[in-house]
Amino acid sequence: MNKKIKLKRFTYYEGKDKKIIQVKICKSFWSKFSGLMFKKSSLPLLFIFDREKTLSIHSFFCKPFIALWLDKEKKVTKKLEIKKWRPNFSGKGKYLLEMPIK
């Protein structure tokens, strides 16, 4: 079965720079839970939460990626290059972007 992937343009702000990228939105519990785990390649993944809070991630079963935590105005509050097989990273945000490193 081939699922249709719904892509969306997402605008965010890194310093004074406005960035617009194509993302796959993770809505379901499973997509939020798994993120980039076990994926050989992926588009950037966008996680949307109901409010700003501390968001924790890990990089088990993932290739290296960039993690961006964004506030409610979609401004980057924290940016990390995540190496594989690391236990815990956290930042505060309403949005989280996981962007694979090519």
Check residue 86 and give its pLDDT: 86
What is the band of 2 on the pLDDT scale with cuts at 50, 70, 90?
very low
What is the band of 6 on the pLDDT scale with cuts at 50, 70, 90?
low
Domains present along the chain, CATH in parentheses: 7-100 (2.60.120.1140)
CB 79 within 8 A of CB 54: no
What is the band of 53 on the pLDDT scale with cuts at 50, 70, 90?
very high
Segment 40-69 shows an average pLDDT of 93
Q: Which spans in 1-102 are helix H?
A: 29-34
**Which H or E run includes 50?**
strand 45-57
Give the pLDDT confidence of 66-75 residue by residue, as tens digits: 999 999 999 9
4-28 as b/e: b if 16+ CB within 10 A: eeeeeebebeeeeeeeeeebbebee
Check residue 4 and give its pLDDT: 54
Give the pLDDT confidence of 11-48 residue by residue, as tens digits: 999 999 999 999 999 988 888 888 888 888 899 999 99
